[in-house]
């Protein structure tokens, strides 16, 4: 759930805030938080919530249990619910008095008005979360992108340079040296073609080629 909080231009800790900011309201509990408070596995809390929704009916159930998702430690999207105050009361009725008290106590703490400092902290945490997701995506992209045509040409030129460097100091058949260096390069990086080398490995691949030494059987 999101609320709009008006903030007149004011410096707090050197930060100039906009007059209008979208701040995520912390007047809901996530089903993950409920699982921690109740001491049950999250999958069991999800089952309890879905059971309550089925009893209340979809329309009424979704007023107090809002379906959403979260990203787990393996960067997978997983189901989750947001529970408002009524949702906590509804779900809490399934549990014992002590557990129900802890749930109500937690949601009531979150009902307290947020200070400007709380908003700044919340926004900073949101930014950290967004940055983490961006970093995960960027790392995934880097791991998947292969070298482009320009980088392939750079690698080819480096290979040719190295072969001719070796031919200057040893006697060998040039027609055997080129297939040999390409084969060793592919084996080193576990690819079917040098074109399949990942961009993140290009610097290492260039260094490998620059220091490549042919096998003894290639020498005349």
Q: How far is CA 197 from CA 55, 148, 150, in A?
A: 55, 10, 13
Indicate if 112 and 154 belong to the same structural domain: no
Could you report the per-residue pLDDT of 110-163, keeping only the tens digit for each? 776 667 876 787 788 788 878 887 877 777 776 778 999 999 999 999 999 999
Could you report the per-residue pLDDT of 198-214, keeping only the tens digit for each? 998 999 999 999 999 99
Whether 134 is covered by a domain: the verdict is no
Indicate if 161 and 98 belong to the same structural domain: no
pLDDT at 132: 81
Could you tell me the residue range of the domain that residue 193 belongs to? 149-218
The answer for 41, left when phi > 0, alpha when psi is -120 to 50, beta otherwise, is beta
Indicate if 94 and 164 belong to the same structural domain: no
Indicate if 40 and 93 belong to the same structural domain: yes
Whether 34 is covered by a domain: the verdict is yes
pLDDT at 144: 77
Indicate if 16 and 109 belong to the same structural domain: yes
Could you report the per-residue pLDDT of 61-92, keeping only the tens digit for each? 999 999 999 998 888 899 999 999 999 999 99
Indicate if 158 and 108 belong to the same structural domain: no
Q: How many domains does the chain have?
A: 2
Percent of the chain with pLDDT over 70: 86
Indicate if 67 and 163 belong to the same structural domain: no
Whether 212 is covered by a domain: the verdict is yes
Indicate if 41 and 109 belong to the same structural domain: yes
Indicate if 154 and 112 belong to the same structural domain: no
| 88-97, Cβ contacts within 8 angstroms, sequence gap of 24 or more | 88/29, 88/34, 90/52, 90/56, 90/64, 90/65, 91/34, 91/48, 91/49, 91/52, 91/65, 94/48, 94/52, 95/38
Separation of alpha carbons 28 and 55, rounded Å: 21
pLDDT at 18: 38
Whether 101 is covered by a domain: the verdict is yes
Confidence of residue 7 (pLDDT cuts 50, 70, 90): very low
């Amino acid at each position: 759930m999101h609320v709009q909080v008006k903030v007149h231009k004011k410096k707090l800790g050197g930060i100039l805030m906009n007059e209008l900011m979208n701040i995520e309201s912390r007047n809901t509990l996530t089903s993950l938080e409920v699982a921690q408070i109740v001491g049950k596995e999250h999958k069991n809390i999800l089952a309890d919530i879905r059971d309550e929704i089925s009893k209340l009916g979809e329309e009424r159930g979704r007023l107090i249990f809002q379906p959403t998702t979260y990203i787990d430690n393996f960067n997978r999207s997983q189901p989750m619910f947001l529970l408002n105050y009524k949702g906590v009361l509804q779900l809490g009725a399934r549990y014992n008095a002590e557990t129900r008290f802890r749930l109500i106590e937690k949601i009531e703490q979150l009902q307290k008005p947020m200070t400007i400092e709380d908003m700044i902290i919340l926004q900073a945490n949101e930014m950290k979360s967004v940055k983490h997701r961006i970093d995960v995506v960027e790392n995934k992209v880097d791991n998947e992108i292969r070298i482009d045509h320009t980088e392939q040409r750079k690698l080819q030129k480096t290979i040719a340079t190295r072969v001719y460097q070796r031919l200057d100091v040893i006697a060998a058949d040039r027609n055997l040296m080129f297939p040999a260096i390409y084969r060793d390069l592919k084996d080193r990086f576990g690819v079917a073609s040098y074109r399949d080398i990942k961009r993140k490995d290009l610097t290492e691949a260039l260094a490998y080629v620059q220091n490549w030494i042919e096998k003894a059987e290639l020498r005349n």
